[in-house]
Structure 1
Amino acid sequence: MAEPLTETASERGVRKAVSTGFSAVQDFVYVALGVLLSVAAGLLLVQAAVAILAAAQARDVRAVVNVLDRVLLALMIAELLYTVQVSFREHALMPQPFLLVALIAAVRRILVVTAEFSAQTRLQDEAFRQVMWELMLLTALIVVLVGALVILQRSAPERAARSHHG
């Protein structure tokens, strides 16, 4: 029978130093991601502000959809930034922000598809079927994502409240 391995104080020290080093690298990556996401969100909001002025002058539905697209993309980036913040603070990944990003992305895609669809003067039958299938699949995806969020919220209410409000 083999003897149980015992760790020496020196091995524990090396293990702790390596773990501390990895945590420092992880923190650096989270801070860098946070900065990059913040800059990207800021630039998108500036673009959205410029686009909303252009949309008001053009009175074009596609211009308004373009503004909504930019705003929703900025919202996705803000949710990713929140994920980075929670990951930095707790050194854990929470599933809710990823589900919210997917939900926003699906809504964003529905807006784009319907805007493109409404801009067509004459749509072929096959193209129409493809658009309808895509919209049905996106709708099903949204229902599944909302269901997943509800299940997560009910399964751990104290953890979800702590992670999304603090």
Structure 2
Amino acid sequence: MAQRSDDEVENRLTKLSAFLFLHTEHLVYALLGGLLAVTAALALLDAAGVLFEALKKFGGAQPMLDVIDRLLFLLMIVEILHTVRVSMRSGRLTCEPFLIVGLIASIRRVLVITLQSSEVMHGSMTAERQALFNASMVELGVLAGLILVMVISIFLLHRAEPQQPQAAGEE
């Protein structure tokens, strides 16, 4: 009889700890989602301000790059927020949103490097400028390979996973 009551106590403790951990996890996800939503709203306001300033200046590559950079940053935040929402809903973490965030970050970096290297090409080519240009080209090559790997990974994930009907409100 003592064995049975010990098993019942252990079973109750297991259920209680699972319940507490699950609700703690959901609370943390909800708080994280709230912080990300506030960050996204602030990033959107910042991007709108940068766009307004770029429109006032109207011209030049740097203001437009700043706008694109801010918008891509905002897109990354929204994608991470989507990941948190899906994780709360499904109870599992998927890797595709992280690949998408990495893809966006890589594209952001490609845009910055492209603008910087185009500015280096104006004027006389010194040894320092040549070294900076060469380093930029190597980084662009690495980023191109990384982007290719991430795109192939996303493609393979879509082919490997059976298509599941989306949850209500998910597009």
Q: Structure 2-normalised TM-score?
A: 0.87
Could you tell me which amino acid in structure 2 is paired with residue 77 of structure 1?
I
Percent identity between the aligned chains? 35
**Superposition deviation, residue 157 in structure 1:** 3.5
Match of 1:104 in 2: 104
**Superposition deviation, residue 60 in structure 1:** 2.1
Question: How much is the aligned-residue C-alpha RMSD, in angstroms?
Answer: 2.0
Matched, 1:151 2:150: no
SS at match of 2:163: helix
Could you tell me which runs of 5 or more consecutive residues in structure 2 were left unpaired when the two chains were aligned: none
Match of 2:79 in 1: 79
SS at match of 1:158: coil
Match of 2:137 in 1: 132
Task: After TM superposition, list the pairs within 5 Å mapping 1:1-166 onto structure 2.
Answer: 8-58=7-57, 59-120=59-120, 121-122=122-123, 124-159=129-164, 162=166, 165=170
**Superposition deviation, residue 145 in structure 1:** 0.1
Q: 4+ residue stretches of structure 1 with deviation over 6 A?
A: none
**Superposition deviation, residue 158 in structure 1:** 1.3
Could you tell me which amino acid in structure 2 is paired with residue 104 of structure 1?
I
CA distances 1:75-98 after superposition (whole Å, capped 9, x unpaired) = 000000010001111111011100
**Superposition deviation, residue 10 in structure 1:** 1.1
**Superposition deviation, residue 110 in structure 1:** 0.6
Could you tell me which amino acid in structure 1 is paired with residue 17 of structure 2?
V
Name the stretch that deviates more: 143-152 or 44-53: 44-53
SS at match of 2:166: helix
- Distance in 2 (alpha carbons) for counterparts of 1:90 and 1:79: 16
Name the stretch that deviates more: 123-132 or 14-23: 123-132
SS at match of 2:79: helix
Could you tell me which runs of 5 or more consecutive residues in structure 1 were left unpaired when the two chains were aligned: none
**Superposition deviation, residue 162 in structure 1:** 3.4
- Distance in 2 (alpha carbons) for counterparts of 1:119 and 1:128: 10
